[in-house]
Chain A
Amino acid sequence: MRIGIVCPYSWDVPGGVQFHIRDLAEYFIRLGHEVSVLAPADDDTPLPPYVVSAGRAVPVPYNGSVARLNFGFLSAARVRRWLHDGHFDVVHIHEPTSPSLGLLTCWAAQGPIVATFHTSNPRSKAMIAAYSILQAALEKISARIAVSEYARRTLVEHLGGDAVVIPNGVDVDFFAKAEPNPEWQGETIGFVGRIDEPRKGLPVLMRALPRIFAERPGARLLVAGRGDEKEAVQSLPKELHARVEFLGMVSDEDKARFLRSVDLYVAPNTGGESFGIILVEAMSAGAPVLAADLDAFAQVLDQGAAGELFANEDADALAEAAVRLLGDPERRAELSARGSAHVRRFDWSTVGADILSVYETVTAGAAAVAADERASGLRARLGLARD
């Protein structure tokens, strides 16, 4: 099958959607499909052979933050050329509502289009204003995929229609087979995520730390992620600073080893999560998980069966649960075993096969993807078509 995948965000910036697309593309290539990924990228960035650059993304203020987007007729022309040269059986667009390549492809293509909705942002003002334009483009999508039941609900409420739920994939064995690092073991609490992004919840964990450290004198916190380390520990009493260790940005291999090593993984995120891939990675590595009870997290953790949940933003509840788990190796072993079994459904072998069934369902009996010749369509309706 010839598959075209559209990535809305810059390939050179690491992010969840980009990693998802990279793993998906590589999974399909291993199965012998032909895959081409269209992504924004700087011209001098080295790209894998299956990625086609759609030009540089332009930083613009959008939806409350600065987003790097592709638009304008130059990008639209590149999209058309890619569609034309690709002869795809199916095009898979990620994040079709962001005003970038996804939306452009929706406009420019006809034929079987599959779209994955990753975020579950409440409808923005811009989207309400652009609703009718958006609706006309989104109508072309033959199959919609939401990454979680929560994302599907937001999608149904805001855009109407329906979607199938296929979770994000993880290479479970990559994490399960990583070598633990003894330096990161021994009553360690792990946290992965941007330090200076409050929604990742490090401040909540910092508020809970004094009590955890007081009751578990051997406990340490390990933080993997970018951000200002001094600012992060500001709220903490001086004598506890030594028990918080910052590892900075870690490579994929180190992240796997990190998750294999820690005795408890804590995800105190306060919101903005539609899936929670890091929880799946932690469970793959066999780390017992303690997470905030966000809708998305509760679903990934099987409503608390595969990992413990605490009331969102409640530092006391977090401290209480962490202290209890650190002092109860049996419960941790149980969580680890349940997590490892539960996580199999997120493995690429399952997720990839599901996505492929979606492709096969929409391509059955449909023509291949082509550039949508809107102009000639109009001419045809007025009886002015050339042939």
Chain B
Amino acid sequence: MTATLIWILVVLVAIGLYLSWTAGRLDRLHARIDAARAALDAQLLRRASVAQELATSGVLDPAASIVLYEAAHAARQSEEEQREVAESELSQALRAVFADSGQVEIVREAPGGEAAAQELGEAVRRVPMARRFHNDAVGAARRLRMHRKVRWFRLAGHAPFPLAFEMDDEPPSALVERAA
């Protein structure tokens, strides 16, 4: 009788430890998503800022300036729900403005343009990187949260179900080649 009770106790403790460990895993994944999201936000903001700076610098022709300013402004001001669309539109605007490597050359020749082109080049390369890392973390967390043990024992607590950040982040090829 006592032996049975002890066994039941041992099994319960083992299950408890396992669930606690899983909760720790989930907690760590959520922390990783938060860090990845912060990094993605920083890169997106940086990209929009450099784009806006270039648009207001007068180096580009007026039409290109307006297109770029509009897109960068929209990306910075957008509500959370429209963020993915606005950022995708900024990618498209950047691709349209810097479709030709001649445009990049013009920027580089302007005073201070070298640094601006370099920074924009870095930003358009890092946005896809940061997004991939973020979505990788989201995928891992989602896979774990779909699991029975997590759903049955509500190990995720009140943390919102993580969502991937989907956008068009294809960089303008002229800029990336320059940076390479």
- Residue positions of A touching B, CB distance < 8 A: 110, 112, 135-136, 139-140, 142-144, 160-164, 344-345, 350, 354, 357-358, 360-362, 364-366, 374, 377-378, 381-382
Contacts and interface: CB of A to CB of B under 8 A. Distances in A.
A357 B132 CA distance: 13
Contacts of B28: 110, 139-140
Nearest to B42: A364
B132 A364 contact: no
Q: Considering residues A136, A139, A143, A354, which has the most beta carbons from chain B within 10 angstroms of its beta carbon?
A: A139
13 contacts: A139-B140, A142-B36, A142-B133, A143-B136, A164-B132, A344-B180, A354-B125, A361-B129, A361-B133, A362-B35, A365-B42, A378-B20, A378-B21
A139 B35 CA distance: 14
A96 to B, nearest CB: 14
Contacts, number: 77
Q: Is the interface of B mostly helix, strand, loop or mixed?
A: helix
Contact of B39 (A139, A144, A364, A378): A364
A382 B133 CA distance: 32
Contacts of B140: 135, 139, 160-161
Interface in B125-155: 125-126, 128-130, 132-133, 135-137, 139-140, 143-144
Contacts of A142: 32, 35-36, 133, 137
B125 A139 contact: no
Contacts of A378: 17, 20-21, 24
Contacts of B137: 142
A331 to B, nearest CB: 26
A358 B132 CA distance: 11
Contacts of A365: 35, 38-39, 42
B122 interface: yes
A224 B23 CA distance: 54
Contacts of B136: 143-144, 161-163
Nearest to B144: A139
Contacts of B128: 164
Nearest to B36: A142
B133 A362 contact: yes
A43 B38 CA distance: 43
Which 3 A-B residue pairings sit nearest by Cβ, starting from the closest? Answer: A365-B38, A161-B136, A162-B136
B43 interface: yes
A361 B43 contact: yes
B122 A357 contact: yes
Contacts of A136: 25
B60 interface: no
Interface string B99-130: 00000000000000000000000100110111
Interface string B26-43: 001100100110110011
A140 B140 CA distance: 10
Contacts of B20: 378, 381-382
A136 B23 CA distance: 12
B127 to A, nearest CB: 10
A253 B32 CA distance: 44
Contacts of B132: 162-164
Contact of A362 (B24, B39, B180): B39
Contacts of A160: 139-140, 143
Given A139-B140, A143-B133, A362-B133, A345 B180 contact: yes
Nearest to B130: A361
Nearest to B46: A364
A330 to B, nearest CB: 28
B129 A358 contact: yes
Interface in B1-58: 17, 20-21, 23-25, 28-29, 32, 35-36, 38-39, 42-43
A347 to B, nearest CB: 9
Nearest to B40: A361
A359 B38 CA distance: 14
Nearest to B29: A139
Nearest to A381: B20
B42 to A, nearest CB: 5
Contacts of B122: 357
Contacts of B144: 139
A365 B39 CA distance: 7
Given A139-B28, A139-B29, A381-B23, A361 B139 contact: no
Contacts of B180: 344-345, 350
Given A160-B143, A365-B35, A365-B42, A139 B25 contact: yes
B129 A161 contact: no
B139 A164 contact: no
